[in-house]
Amino acid sequence: MLTAKKVAEYFLSLSDEDLGDMISNSKLQKLMYYVQGFSLVLYGKPFFREDIHSYTEGPIVLKIYGEYKQYGANVISIPNVDLTKYTNDEKKLMNEVYTEYGQFAAWKLSKMTQSEDPWKNTNINDVKLPSLKARGSYVQKNIIYTSKEYMLNSYSIRILLTRVATNSLTIA
């Protein structure tokens, strides 16, 4: 299982300054939320260990938010990332999430995440997706099923799942 830091670095490495395709801290948080949700749907397990919390701006991973907080709403510098540290399946899933959701601005992603059941069914400042701690086991089970139900009934999610399937990504 990857750390949230490794996931964040990979997403940031997909930025392309020449194309104007850059990632702010807010956008990064939403991409991490989506990759975690897809991992739960496709594999039945989290993609990274850290909790996702709900705040008024949308879902965030506290450690990653703090790491890039100094950038404010500006774009985050593209890090040098050793892509050999990721499995092909990890890269495929992150690439698919980025292809589907990376096209949207941070404000649009915030609106999207806040219109979905996992967000609506969790109080602000509660853990969102999933907690590996015993105290979060009820939330984890509730959110997994809510996320899966939402994702499987969403047009954009069905398209993404089709892309993932055609790239031979193993679905649990």
Lowest mean pLDDT among 50-59, 61-70, 120-129: 120-129
Lowest mean pLDDT among 2-6, 48-52, 143-147: 143-147
CA torsion 148-149-152-157 (nearest 10°) is -70
Q: 37 is written with which tokens? A: 């949700």
Residue 48 has pLDDT above 70, yes or no: yes
Q: Is this prediction's pTM over 0.85?
A: no
Evaluate whether 56 touches 107 at the Cβ level (below 8 Å).
no
pLDDT tens digit sequence for 141-157? 333 333 455 555 554 55
Only one residue has tokens 């649990």, namely 172
97 pLDDT tier (thresholds 50, 70, 90): very high
pLDDT tens digit sequence for 18-38? 777 899 999 999 999 889 888
Dihedral-angle region of residue 168 (phi above 0 means left; psi in -120 to 50 means alpha; beta otherwise): left
Measure the CA angle with vertex 157, ends 156 and 158; round to 5°. Answer: 90
pLDDT tens digit sequence for 108-138? 998 888 777 677 666 665 555 443 333 333 3
Cα R_g (the chain), whole angstroms:
15
What is the average pLDDT across 49-73? 86
pLDDT attached to residue 44: 76
